[in-house]
Structure 1
Amino acid sequence: MQMKELGQQLSASLTALFTMLAIAIQPVAASATEWHTLTPQAQPVWLELPALVEAVAQSTISAQTSGRIIELPFDVNDLVPQGAVVVRFTDTEQKARLAQAEAALSEAQVRFIEQDKELKRVQQIHQQGLVAKAALDLAQANFNAAKARQQQASAAASAAKEQLEQTVVRAPYSGILQQRLVELGELATVGKPLLVGLSLEHLRLTAQLPQQQLQAARQSNAAELQLVNGSQLSLGVPDLTIAPQGNALSHSFLLRLKLPVADYSAQQLYPGSWTTLKLQTGSQQQLLLPASAVLWRGEVAMVYLQQPSKPQLQPVRVLRLHQQQYQLLSGLSAGQKIALDAQAMLQSLQPAANATVQESK
């Protein structure tokens, strides 16, 4: 009796096991997921170069007039807007010179008006034949001298005004103040260095270009930057300058790329930092995988490959292009179909696998 009951239980277990296996090997319905057919697509080929960020606009501001420093609004590492006052000198002497020059200009203008009237009067009298030609020549000479003195006084007034304006030093461009070479109360003379700064909007990249890539880089019609956060910054048609002489030791050429004028602080591009420059050198046919089709198991990338019986996990080698796409390096060929949503495929296969495990217990 016990042997009979044991045989019945064993038969029921085998029946359930074969049922679960049949369910597990059934192909997934077409509606459970969408399939992606691998088709070659033309994709750009990039030449990647490590590049150093340099500041194009980097200068030392020097004094153009003499005076004692009474104002230094900015400190080192401060962001200075274009046209902002960075140094202010005492201007008492410059104001006095300007007042003196303006007074001399006023006097010269009065003398010029007087000589102009005198010349016109002598010309009228000379036309009537009442004065000699010598009197007319004398009036003309006095007029010319008065005009020259007026021009000289006007130039002196302009120079004095310029000297007064130079007591206020303004930033030639917006940027970062790197060094402050003077302090409040110091006496500045003409030519004395005051401040050192650079612009974050006028940048360029320098890189070493291998000799075998020289011609390809010259023909490049697109460039990108690989930023530290993994994103790409498109630069359009690159403004490249390649040195005509190569390095005899490394057989490479100095390449410079001028960045478009913009504020790159948000992209963390600062002078002295390293980045990756990508130059498009051509195009080739590649197989692309959407990111949703790839399952990661540690360091191994896998996709669900369509098979007659049921989808099969296929290991592949991929290269990430951006957040939504991978380039297929090996593991699949053109024309094969993979599950577009690998996570959905995994969940659809999971109930059958769980049921098989439970029954085996």
Structure 2
Amino acid sequence: MLKQKNKKAVIGLFLGTLLTTQLSAASSLAAETIESIQIKPRSIATRVTLDAYIEPVKAATVSAQTSGRIIKLNYDINDVVDSGSPLLEITNIEQGAQLSAANAEYAKAQAINIEAQRQLARYQTLFPQGAISQGAMDEALTNAKAAEQQLSAANAKVAQAKESVKYTVVNAPFSGVVTQRHVEEGETISPGQALYSGYSLSQMRAVTHIPQRYVAAVKRQPQFRLILATGEQIESDELTLFSFIDPNTHSYKVRINLPQNQTDVIPGSLIKAQFVSDNRTAIYIPKSSIMTMNALDTVYLKQDNNWVLTQVRVGSSDNGQIEILAGLSTADVIAKDAYQALQTLNNHH
């Protein structure tokens, strides 16, 4: 037991000495052959990460515009539809009868108008000759104007009846996916009743809420980084920041548009939204400059013509660079490759 304790004490003493004692190069040549870099702090953005969710930019519920019985349903939940595709069909017997009646009324009004205009033309020819009284002339003019108005009203009824017939086939307002079907085949519907709900797949947006203290930062730099569930990152500066506070969350709502046809996002899914709140100065060094020994991160720091193994505290990594939170200062010189430096020093020891 005593030997084991002595052994641990020797190992601990060795590690402590390794981190605090200078490792002198056997020659100045050894120190010069080690490739080094000088510490230069850089300004990096401080990002705030918020929870966000995906919603479609274009979503709608299609409602009935006429009454009737459903005779055919062409789509169901989760089906993808094209713009203008017929979603369902309604009986059109009543609407067809109304169209026939409107056409008949229009034909009658047209005949009356033709006769009234002809009579007015005859009276206008005879009136200068004194064959027609002023009263008859005024009556003919009134009848002609009334016939024109009746013809116009009949034409409007025909147009209305035609639209009513068109309403018996309900078309998709845009391309998208069906999320809910509110009716069944054979069901009788009335105007205003919901039929289908769905959303467009072509344009999505992220929605999040920003605490009041960060609103100024978002206005100063209106750009977000969206991190999807797959890990994909999307940058977007197309956003809408609401100008009023949500009374429930006491924060500002913001909508961030995603690129067109972003097919790998699903409405309702949760993502992360990041924005720059401030900038700070940080030190980053290459990963190769760090040597990990017994869970301790160290670098070779150059002091005069000697190399010192110095412990550092590391932070986040970014594109092959690791942030140094403690242990190094501006203008310090360190070995670019710590393991290569260790080998070089051992070869010249």
CA contact (8 A) 2:52 2:206 kept: no
1:275 to 271, 296, 314: 271
1:288-307 → structure 2 map (5 Å cutoff): 288-289=284-285
Aligned to 1:137: 138
For each residue in 1:278-332, what CA deviation from the matched residue of structure 2 results, as whole angstroms up to 9, or x when unmatched? 22233333334456766788987666656745695854412234x4555443343
Counterpart-to-counterpart distance in 2, 1:72 and 1:205? 34
1:264-343 → structure 2 map (5 Å cutoff): 265-268=262-265, 270-289=266-285, 308-309=305-306, 315-321=312-318, 323=319, 325-338=321-334, 342=337
Aligned to 1:29: 33
Aligned to 1:5: none
Counterpart-to-counterpart distance in 2, 1:293 and 1:172? 60
SS of the residue aligned with 1:287? strand
Counterpart-to-counterpart distance in 1, 2:139 and 2:294? 104
| Number of residue-to-residue matches in the alignment | 321
SS of the residue aligned with 2:250? strand
Counterpart-to-counterpart distance in 2, 1:328 and 1:84? 60
SS of the residue aligned with 2:139? helix
CA contact (8 A) 1:204 1:256 kept: no
2:254 to 254, 257, 267: 257
Q: Which amino acid aligns with 1:109?
A: Q
Measure how far apart 1:95 and its partner are.
2.9
SS of the residue aligned with 2:127? helix
SS of the residue aligned with 2:155? helix
| Cα distance, 1:118–1:324 mapped onto 2, change above 3 Å | farther
Which stretch shows the higher mean deviation, 142-151 or 270-279?
270-279
Counterpart-to-counterpart distance in 2, 1:184 and 1:52? 35
Q: Which amino acid aligns with 1:186?
A: E
Q: Does 1:153 align with 2:154?
A: yes
Q: Which amino acid aligns with 1:232?
A: Q
CA contact (8 A) 1:62 1:195 kept: yes
TM-score normalised according to structure 2 size: 0.75
1:1-361 → structure 2 map (5 Å cutoff): 26-27=30-31, 29=33, 35-55=36-56, 57-200=58-201, 201-207=203-209, 209-236=210-237, 238-244=239-245, 253-260=250-257, 262-263=259-260, 265-268=262-265, 270-289=266-285, 308-309=305-306, 315-321=312-318, 323=319, 325-338=321-334, 342=337, 346=339
Percent identical: 30
| Cα distance, 1:297–1:263 mapped onto 2, change above 3 Å | farther
Q: Which amino acid aligns with 2:272?
A: T
Counterpart-to-counterpart distance in 2, 1:311 and 1:196? 69
Extract unaligned runs of 5+ from structure 2: 1-24
Measure how far apart 1:220 and its partner are.
3.9
Which stretch shows the higher mean deviation, 289-298 or 106-115?
289-298
| Cα distance, 1:112–1:44 mapped onto 2, change above 3 Å | farther
What is the Cα-based RMSD across aligned positions, in Å?
A: 3.6
Counterpart-to-counterpart distance in 2, 1:165 and 1:298? 78
| Cα distance, 1:245–1:72 mapped onto 2, change above 3 Å | closer
Measure how far apart 1:225 and its partner are.
1.3
| Cα distance, 1:326–1:348 mapped onto 2, change above 3 Å | closer
TM-score normalised according to structure 1 size: 0.73
